[in-house]
Amino acid sequence: MKKYSNIVVTGGAGFIGGHLVERLIKEGNRVTVIDNFATGRPENLAAIKDNKSLSVFNADVADFPKIKAYFEGVDCVFHLAALADIVPSIWRPLDYHRANVDGTIAVLEAARLAGVSKFVYTASSSCYGIPDEIPTAESAIIMPMYPYAVTKYLGEQYALNWNKIYKLPVTSLRLFNVYGPRARTTGTYGAVFGVFLAQKLAGKPFTVVGDGLQTRDFTFVSDIVSAFIAAAESDISGEIFNVGSGGTYSINTLVELLKGEVTHIKKRPGEPDCTFANIDKILKNLDWKPNVKFTDGVKIMLDNIEHWKTAPIWDEKSISKETADWFKYLGK
Ligand code: UDP
């Protein structure tokens, strides 16, 4: 990316952030990563760790006095630092608010005071909840179903308001089910790819939720990275764009591609039967389109399966224990 000389990536040691930073560094950019390594890992930056154009600071984005200094001379910010996952957001709503809302406003302020030319916010398709409109456009009803979704949406509201009030050039990307090599698997239960790949390595059955007919708009991480770069390079600001694969794929299809035995577990409340991004807006306005077909993406995951060797192996019993509060709080 030639447009900027000094880029900040918050959450740059995370799964998506690591891929973005790798690409930016490979394209000759100077990058500052701000990450508190709560869920980020140094391994995500291993391939570029000795590159002189990369600086990494261990800091909490909500700590405004500390992070402010890292924005001096910066002209572009990608804000990816956040706490993810549904269940822990039910357990620890204050931590989620601090990381995802206080963290976002602190980064927005630091970016504004530095006079950056572009700020890209990482929003989540979880803001659509259980959508009536499929494929779902950016204008669809907002219906966050759990604290994580609320906090990511509030962060987006702040970002768009910093555009409106202070004229900070903000673009918000609503990401749909991102997957790819190094997808996070440690810590809490979540993200189906990590769960299934670890089960496959251990020779255990895939824990398919419900009948497995539910579909997700699985979007490969390299396409997500390209969308971040397209958003930064564009002169458009103050807009929200969905980022999806252009399709939606059932869990049963995923199982067929991964190959293995299946066990069925209880359907979870508050989960949509289908996520599917309407990507007309981004196709029309940004110089971007998804490039990785689902079958190719799954093959890349299988080629990298060794990564999930140390991931927790979930089964019906441990999932049921871990998701008890999901049923308790999100049930009717
Ligand atoms: N899923 C599943 N088994 C699991 C975990 C997830 O069948 O052990 C399904 C889940 O029902 C959903 C899809 O995989 O339809 C994606 O789940 P994930 O948690 O990755 O993302 P989200 O539910 O947030 O879209």
Mutation pick for ligand 1 pocket among 176, 193, 216, 265 (CB with most ligand atoms within 8 Å): 216
pLDDT above 70 for 34:
yes
pLDDT above 80 for 332:
no
Q: Are residues 118 and 267 in the same domain?
A: no
Q: Are residues 80 and 134 in the same domain?
A: yes
278 falls within a domain: no
Residues with Cβ within 6 A of ligand 1? Answer: 177, 190-192, 195, 207-209, 214, 216, 251, 271, 275
pLDDT 10s digits, 301-331: 999 999 999 899 999 999 999 888 888 888 7
Question: Residue 25: helix, strand or coil by DSSP?
Answer: helix
pLDDT above 70 for 204:
yes
Predicted confidence at residue 167, as pLDDT, reads 98
Q: Are residues 259 and 227 in the same domain?
A: no
Q: Are residues 28 and 141 in the same domain?
A: yes
| CA 268 to ligand 1 center in whole angstroms | 9
Domain count, the chain: 2
| Residue of the CA atom closest to atom 11 of ligand 1 | 209
| CA 177 to ligand 1 center in whole angstroms | 9
Q: How far is residue 87's CA from residue 214's CA, in Å, rounded to a whole number?
A: 20
- Residues marked as catalytic: 148
The average pLDDT across 21-45 equals 97
Q: Are residues 223 and 213 in the same domain?
A: no
| Residue of the CA atom closest to atom 8 of ligand 1 | 207
Contact, 181 vs 306, CB < 8 A? no
| CA 172 to ligand 1 center in whole angstroms | 24
Q: Are residues 227 and 268 in the same domain?
A: no
| CA 124 to ligand 1 center in whole angstroms | 15
The average pLDDT across 174-191 equals 88
Report residue 192 as tokens. 């189906």
Range of the domain at 269: 186-217+247-273+293-330
Interior/surface letters 51-88, b for 16+ CB within 10 angstroms, e for the rest: eeebebbebbbbebeebeebbeebbbbbbbbbbbbbbb
Q: Are residues 11 and 159 in the same domain?
A: yes
Q: Are residues 160 and 264 in the same domain?
A: no
35 falls within a domain: yes
Nearest atom (ligand 1) to Cα of 209: 7
* Helices 192-201, 251-258: crossing angle, 10 deg rounding: 30
pLDDT 10s digits, 68-100: 999 999 999 999 999 998 889 999 999 999 999
300 falls within a domain: yes
Q: Are residues 141 and 267 in the same domain?
A: no
Q: Which residue type occupies 83?
A: L
pLDDT above 70 for 150:
yes
1 falls within a domain: no
| Residue of the CA atom closest to atom 13 of ligand 1 | 192
Q: How far is residue 29's CA from residue 32's CA, in Å, rounded to a whole number?
A: 10
- CATH number of the domain at 151, please: 3.40.50.720
> Cα dist. 18→13, 167, 192 in Å?
5, 29, 20
How would residue 2 be classed by pLDDT, with cut points 50, 70 and 90? Answer: confident
How would residue 48 be classed by pLDDT, with cut points 50, 70 and 90? Answer: very high
**Across the chain, what does the average pLDDT equal?**
96
Percentage, residues of the chain above pLDDT 90: 90
Mutation pick for ligand 1 pocket among 209, 218, 275 (CB with most ligand atoms within 8 Å): 209
Predicted confidence at residue 24, as pLDDT, reads 98
The average pLDDT across 261-272 equals 92
Predicted confidence at residue 35, as pLDDT, reads 98
pLDDT 10s digits, 98-133: 999 999 999 999 999 999 999 999 999 999 999 999
Q: Are residues 152 and 208 in the same domain?
A: no
- By mean pLDDT, which of 181-195, 211-225, 229-243 is the weakest? 181-195
- By mean pLDDT, which of 45-54, 91-100, 202-211, 264-273 is the weakest? 264-273
Q: Are residues 83 and 195 in the same domain?
A: no
The average pLDDT across 34-51 equals 96
Percentage, residues of the chain above pLDDT 70: 99
Q: Are residues 90 and 55 in the same domain?
A: yes
287 falls within a domain: no
The average pLDDT across 11-17 equals 98
Predicted confidence at residue 240, as pLDDT, reads 98
The average pLDDT across 192-211 equals 96
| CA 192 to ligand 1 center in whole angstroms | 5
pLDDT above 90 for 218:
yes
- CATH number of the domain at 312, please: 3.90.25.10
